[in-house]
């Protein structure tokens, strides 16, 4: 039987409750580690990756404009998604 546990968030340092129901869910899914972040910090971490800054570049293969999640450098080629997939397939 599970009982509620008080944990400390590694990001904000606030205490949060790891409920008995959540512990049971974790056990059913085979998760062995307890959560390290409170719900607001977990949500913020998820949203941070969704709101990533995108950059525009010209594809080194076909010359079309491409949007990429990194700042392009002049010394490295950048490919649009179609040409990148072709490069990976070779």
61 and 37 within one domain:
no
42 and 78 within one domain:
no
pLDDT at 64: 95
Average pLDDT, the chain: 91
Domain of residue 12, residue span = 5-50
Residue 38 confidence (pLDDT) above 80: yes
Can you give the pTM of this predicted structure?
Answer: 0.55
16 and 30 within one domain:
yes
Q: Provide the domain count of the chain.
A: 2
Sign of CA dihedral 49, 55, 57, 62: positive
What's the CA gap between 46 and 51, in Å, rounded? 9
Average pLDDT over every residue of 79-84: 91
9 and 32 within one domain:
yes
10 and 35 within one domain:
yes
């Amino acid at each position: 039987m599970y009982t509620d546990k008080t944990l400390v968030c590694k990001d904000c340092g606030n205490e949060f409750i790891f409920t008995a129901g959540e512990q049971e869910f974790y056990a059913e899914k085979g998760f062995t580690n307890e959560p390290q972040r409170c719900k607001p910090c977990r949500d913020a971490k998820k949203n941070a990756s969704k709101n990533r800054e995108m950059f525009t570049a010209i594809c080194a293969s076909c010359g079309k404009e491409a949007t990429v999640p990194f700042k392009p450098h002049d010394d490295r080629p950048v490919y649009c998604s179609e040409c990148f997939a072709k490069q990976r397939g070779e």
